[in-house]
């Protein structure tokens, strides 16, 4: 599994529900349980709302509606069911990038060229799959974030602005949001994501990769749980490039 590009192609952090059943690699299987915990932690931290659109988690809304009427959000305010959405917990730095850095010294060096010290930070146990590297988003915003259509820029303290890097999202942005909770999304990682996005967009590389992987993905497909057979995908891309 790998990288920004695959994140951009698959655009989905593997979600714990429904359970991932295809895992062949013991290490991959072992990573499934922490994902469940990560989702729970981040939904609680982000108060069951998308940090960009503020949409409330539809599954939680329905569960609460069965228990009480009206259903209320984490602050006790009645939930507007028209503004609910399916939410995902998305990695800021793709989970797969850890494995790439572990194998490839040059990848770590380039990461250091981007942000000195961040590679060591990311490789600490629990960081990549921890709440500091995750944010709660609607499925739509997860795609926009993964494809670097939106990114976060620090305004002051815990206040961040959501910027658009492509014009298609129009007047909805910029919006402001806050990093909250005991373990908020890491500002350094959000800034790294934004930096990568601005480089990709500014050089036309994002579109180049989208075309490459769009073709590749057409041949590989996305699995039912939203993950992609990335090993195959990367292999295809390398062959296409070669």
Partner 1 sequence: MATPLGLDALTTLSAADPPFANDDDRAQAVGRFRRIVGHFEALEIEKPASPPQHGDGYNRPALIRLTFDHARSEKSKDLFLVVFFQFLGIGILDEDDDFVDVAALRDAVLGFAEFLMANFFLPRASSQSACLSVTLES
Binding site for partner 1 (CB under 8 A): 2-5, 97, 100, 103-118, 188, 191-192, 195-196, 198-200, 202-205, 207-209, 211-212, 230-231, 234-235, 237-238
Q: What tokens were used for 6?
A: 């695959």
Q: State in angstroms the smallest separation of the CB of 146 from partner 1.
A: 14
Q: State in angstroms the smallest separation of the CB of 181 from partner 1.
A: 24
Q: State in angstroms the smallest separation of the CB of 75 from partner 1.
A: 35
Residue placing its CB nearer to partner 1 in the complex, 135 or 191:
191
Residue placing its CB nearer to partner 1 in the complex, 150 or 237:
237
Neighbours of 94 (CB within 10 A): 25
* Burial status of residue 86 (CB atoms within 10 A of its CB: 0-12, 13-18, 19 or more): middle
Residue placing its CB nearer to partner 1 in the complex, 62 or 114:
114
Q: Give 136's strand partners.
A: 89
Residue placing its CB nearer to partner 1 in the complex, 20 or 98:
98
Neighbours of 231 (CB within 10 A): 13
The shares of helix, strand and coil residues in the chain, as percent rounded to the nearest 5, are: 50, 15, 35
Q: State in angstroms the smallest separation of the CB of 47 from partner 1.
A: 30
Q: What tokens were used for 84?
A: 């609910």
Helix crossing, 187-202 with 105-114: angle to 10°? 100
Q: State in angstroms the smallest separation of the CB of 238 from partner 1.
A: 6
Residue placing its CB nearer to partner 1 in the complex, 80 or 112:
112
Q: How far apart are CA 34 and CA 130, in angstroms?
A: 8
């Amino acid at each position: 599994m790998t990288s920004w590009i695959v994140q951009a192609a698959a655009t989905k952090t593997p979600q714990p529900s429904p359970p991932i059943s295809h895992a062949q690699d013991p290490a991959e299987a072992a990573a499934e349980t922490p994902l469940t915990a990560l989702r729970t932690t981040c939904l609680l931290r982000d108060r069951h709302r998308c940090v960009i659109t503020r949409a409330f988690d539809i599954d939680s809304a329905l569960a609460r509606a069965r228990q009480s009427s009206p259903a209320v959000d984490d602050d006790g305010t009645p939930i507007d069911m028209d503004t609910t959405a399916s939410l995902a917990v998305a990695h800021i730095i793709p989970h797969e990038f850890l494995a790439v850095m572990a194998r490839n010294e040059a990848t770590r060096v380039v990461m250091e060229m981007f942000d000195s010290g961040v590679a060591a930070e990311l490789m600490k146990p629990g960081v990549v799959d921890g709440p500091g590297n995750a944010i709660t988003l609607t499925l739509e915003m997860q795609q926009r974030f993964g494809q670097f259509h939106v990114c976060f820029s620090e305004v002051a303290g815990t206040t961040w602005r959501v910027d658009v890097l492509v014009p298609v999202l129009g007047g909805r942005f910029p919006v402001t949001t806050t990093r909250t909770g005991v373990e908020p999304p890491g500002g350094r990682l959000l800034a790294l994501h934004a930096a990568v996005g601005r480089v990709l967009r500014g050089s036309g590389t994002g579109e180049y990769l989208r075309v490459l992987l769009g073709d590749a993905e057409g041949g590989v497909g996305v699995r039912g749980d939203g993950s992609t057979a990335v090993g195959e995908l990367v292999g295809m891309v390398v062959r296409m490039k070669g």
